[in-house]
Amino acid sequence: MANEVVKKEPMFTEGYVIMPYKYSVGTLASKFFIEIRDHKKINGVKCPKCNIVIVPPRSVCIKCFNKIEDLVELSGKGTLVTYTVAHYDSAVQAMKPPYAIGVIKLDGADTAITHFIGEVDFKELKAGMKLEAVFNETRNANILDIKYFKPVKNKG
């Protein structure tokens, strides 16, 4: 009888579990978010070996795998590479639809950052347009301290 399998009916219960956790983004990303929070500055990292500039920063070069330690300041302006407009709603979204999200290659960077696009008619969005960062008034040292990127107004 010791090896006999006892069959039991599954039991179900409704409820929820609170699972607080902390996530460390590391030294470079911490500096990246602190600079956005405290100075409204977007930084990347420049590989000392192959000279590519990566944003958001990484501690290892994505091209040559060299260690990277120093931040370089970027202007906060860039070019829209591609975009999409979201029309569906989800509890995990940071913004209510409809909203646009774009891949933006910041001036001076070799990689791109994905973020919201604001202050624009969605019909006017096009790859190649120039954008600039708009920062939230209250910042908490996370990526949403950048409220969105908006089109750069042409002077003249």
The secondary structure of 88-106 as a DSSP string is: ---TT-SSPSSEEEEEEEE
pLDDT at 1: 58
Q: What is the mean pLDDT of the chain?
A: 91
pLDDT at 13: 79
- Check pLDDT > 70 for residue 86: yes
pTM given for the model: 0.82
Mean pLDDT of 106-122: 97
Burial, 108: exposed, middle or buried (Cβ in 10 Å; 0-12, 13-18, 19+)?
middle
- Check pLDDT > 90 for residue 2: no
Helices (H) and strands (E) in the chain, counts: 1, 8
